[in-house]
Amino acid sequence: MSSEAVIDSTGALLRTLIRERFAGRIALVSAFGAESAVLLHLAAGIDPGLPVIFLDTGKLFPETLAYRDALAARLGLTDLRIARPDPGLLGIADPAGSLWRRDPDRCCDLRKVMPLDAALAPFDAWISGRKRFQGGDRAALEAVEFGTDWRIKINPLANWTEADIDAYFARHDLPPHPLRAAGYRSIGCVPCTRAARAGEAPRAGRWDGSGKTECGIHNSPSFAERALA
């Protein structure tokens, strides 16, 4: 399928989801990372008032925070929601801010999974920007998933290629994340992200050497299920 056809079908899907099927009940979750501008631009063209949830873990690159603000302004996003970890829980579980070193799964749970659970509470569905070409578990990504909670998760870029992403950036003159120029292809928290090396998979620089490949927001049981466990 050509890039134009991929873009057209993705736009049509997003329009149906945002304006009809889940009108007022859907949010987009974005890290404002290396490729996020594509999905944000598509969504803003349909409804700039679409709620956009950003997880501020407290460990992000300052470049990401600056990019978030600049890109949100450029796209005219009017409902950017910043989700942060519970300071009381952090004070108990990670008072020194070094939990990532000894238990990254727990750190991601506190700083990402739980805040996202809370931020998604008003919504029945959410939109994620994952793609199959990112590899790992994402290689078999479905366009629509049913979460372990009851929410529906839509991955409208699942079948996009890197060439499609690059073409979209060029066509719409979208600004790149400032760390792209330094070789970062997937950008998360400072302690758990390094620049990609030549020939590596796009997400190889995340949790390098730990065996961890995902933060947990895409494969974690819901907060309610964890509370009952």
Q: Which stretch binds ligand SF4 (CB under 6 A): 44-52, 62-70, 150-158, 183-191?
A: 183-191
Q: What contacts 24+ positions apart, CB below 8 Å, involve 147-151?
A: 147/222, 148/220, 148/221, 148/222, 148/225, 149/117, 149/221, 149/222, 149/223, 149/224, 149/225, 151/120, 151/123, 151/124, 151/125, 151/126
Residue 96, phi then psi, degrees to nearest 5: -95, -5
Residue of closest CB approach to ligand SF4: 189
Q: Where are the alpha helices (DSSP H) in 114-190?
A: 114-119, 162-171
Say how many C-beta atoms besides its own lie within 10 A of residue 22's C-beta. 18
DSSP 29: E
Cα 36–chain centre separation: 7
Q: Interface with ligand SF4 includes 192 (CB under 6 A)?
A: yes
Q: Which stretch binds ligand SF4 (CB under 6 A): 43-51, 133-141, 170-178, 188-196?
A: 188-196
Q: Interface with ligand SF4 includes 111 (CB under 6 A)?
A: yes
Q: Interface with ligand SF4 includes 126 (CB under 6 A)?
A: no
Q: Interface with ligand SF4 includes 57 (CB under 6 A)?
A: yes
Q: Interface with ligand SF4 includes 107 (CB under 6 A)?
A: yes
Residue (45 or 58) nearer to ligand SF4, CB: 58
Q: Is 107 a catalytic residue?
A: no
* Tokens of residue 149, six digits: 């909670």
Beta bridge partners of 146: 152
Q: Which stretch binds ligand SF4 (CB under 6 A): 24-32, 35-43, 108-116, 132-140?
A: 108-116
- Active-site residue identified among 107, 108, 192, 215: 215
Residue (40 or 192) nearer to ligand SF4, CB: 192
DSSP 97: S
Q: Which stretch binds ligand SF4 (CB under 6 A): 9-17, 103-111, 140-148, 178-186?
A: 103-111
Q: Interface with ligand SF4 includes 180 (CB under 6 A)?
A: no
Q: Interface with ligand SF4 includes 108 (CB under 6 A)?
A: yes
CB of 58 to ligand SF4, least distance (A): 8
Binds ligand SF4 by CB under 6 A, chosen from 6, 27, 38, 59: 59
Residue 64, phi then psi, degrees to nearest 5: -70, -40
191 phi-psi bin (left φ>0, alpha ψ -120 to 50, beta other): alpha
Catalytic residues: 215
Contact residues toward ligand SF4 (CB under 6 A) are 57, 59, 100, 104, 107-108, 111-112, 188-189, 191-192, 215
